[in-house]
Structure 1
Amino acid sequence: MAKKPPAAGRGMATRLRTAEGRSTASQRWLTRQLNDPYVRAAKAQGFRSRAAFKLLEIDAKLKLLKPGMRVVDLGAAPGGWTQVAVAAVEERGEVVAIDILPMDPVAGATVLQGDFTEDEAEVRVTAAMGGKADLVLSDMAPNTTGHQATDHLRIMALAEIALDFATRVLAPKGAFVAKVLQGGTEAEMLAVLKRDFAVVRHVKPPASRKDSAEMYVVATGFRR
């Protein structure tokens, strides 16, 4: 497993060489990326995104990933979480990544392009795994509008769709991880989670930016 990236050092801030032609928002985003220790660590360790460290930190806390597991990564592009899962399950395991967008191959994983909400997706994913999943992952998030209530509804809708898929492909005692927003899971979804899983937790890994409202719901012990 990869090591946790170092904290940003004092006095080491990197500035943009030029701001010409860039909006203020674009300048802020680029500056933040240049000075983000997780972005630098992801590049150094060969991860496709800084989000890989979110899964690594969740797993370090809750020990979800194990050798030999069957794992599904929903909305997987660009593949950071898929890379982490492949390393964890080792050669005995199976990792299936699916996204509606094209995604470069990940060694050790089966990458499927398609909409996981379509009926055939369940069949394709289960066939690729060779059976039911032990863990379903979703780091999906919609494009933000800047309107807090709207963004909350949209990200929760994605989490609910991911949960519906998970309940159809998970093996007994399986687990589910999905991105939600601060304040936790909606009451209706939480009720489903508590009904279908033995334990439900909310986690905000250190790699989630402090100014971000994102967190993750982690449900273990699938009861069906």
Structure 2
Amino acid sequence: MSRLKDRSSRHDAFFRKAREQGFAARAVFKLEDIDKKLGLLRAGDRVLDLGCRPGSWLQYAGQRVGAHGKLVGIDRLPMPSEIPNARIVIADLYEITDEVLVGDLGAFDVVLSDMAPDTTGIKSTDQARSAALVEEALNRASRLLAPGGAFVAKIFQGPDVELLRKRMQTFFATVKLVKPEASRKISTEVYLAGKGFAPAST
């Protein structure tokens, strides 16, 4: 992060609030907003967090699912974790098997993805890379979600948003496009959220 961005974050209300409440990043309030609007997380849920570093989404999910819930997070980079009931997998999502992620849980009730690509500054390239991450996350969710499950993924606004929204409609009873309050106004990020997962018939 540049010094300019760092200074901006330090004066950001969500940044300060996250630090005061012990969360690893301000992004926690994006998930909280989506959860409050759509009712994603419940006590006892099994949750998969794709691109989990630095851990604020896992922290929030852990609070929501409680002592009987289970959390699995995956990221390419190591992260410290003292989150109860959380298993952290250090790996590239494109290289890891479904079996390693799900372990003995059988399936997940919620799959989350706050993944963002390495950006180039070229809008069309960054949008395409973001969409590719969402597509991979959705592929995983379609194989690992339990019936009735939920899915949330960040995507940069662009032509692929509508295509992915329509694809999600083949798996989920309801699909919403959400711009959380904690998203910066200048950011092109939005979140695709699906509820009521039903595996595609074969």
The 1-side partners of 2:160 and 2:109 are apart by 22
Q: Give 1:116's aligned amino acid.
A: L
The 1-side partners of 2:82 and 2:187 are apart by 28
C-alpha contact (below 8 Å) 1:73/1:137 kept by paired residues: yes
Task: Name the counterpart of 2:89.
Answer: 112
After superposition, the C-alpha distances for 1:174-214 in whole angstroms (9 at most, x for unaligned) are 11100012357534422321111111100001000011110
Correspondence 1:38 to 2:14: yes
Task: Name the counterpart of 1:100.
Answer: 76
Higher relative contact order (CA 8 A, sep 6+): 2
Q: Bigger radius of gyration, 1 or 2? A: 1
Correspondence 1:84 to 2:41: no
Where in structure 2 are there 5+ consecutive unaligned residues?
Answer: none
Matches for 1:5-24 after TM superposition, within 5 Å? none
After superposition, the C-alpha distances for 1:33-61 in whole angstroms (9 at most, x for unaligned) are 12101111111111011101110111111
SS at match of 2:182: coil
Moved over 3 A (4+): 183-188
C-alpha contact (below 8 Å) 1:126/1:169 kept by paired residues: yes
Normalising by structure 1, report the TM-score: 0.84
C-alpha contact (below 8 Å) 2:108/2:149 kept by paired residues: yes
Q: Give 1:214's aligned amino acid.
A: E
Normalising by structure 2, report the TM-score: 0.92
Moved more, 175-184 or 199-208: 175-184
Q: Name which of 38, 50, 54 aligns with 2:30.
A: 54
The 2-side partners of 1:188 and 1:206 are apart by 24
> What percentage of residue pairs aligned between the two structures are identical?
44
Number of equivalences: 198
C-alpha contact (below 8 Å) 2:178/2:192 kept by paired residues: yes
Task: Name the counterpart of 2:135.
Answer: 160
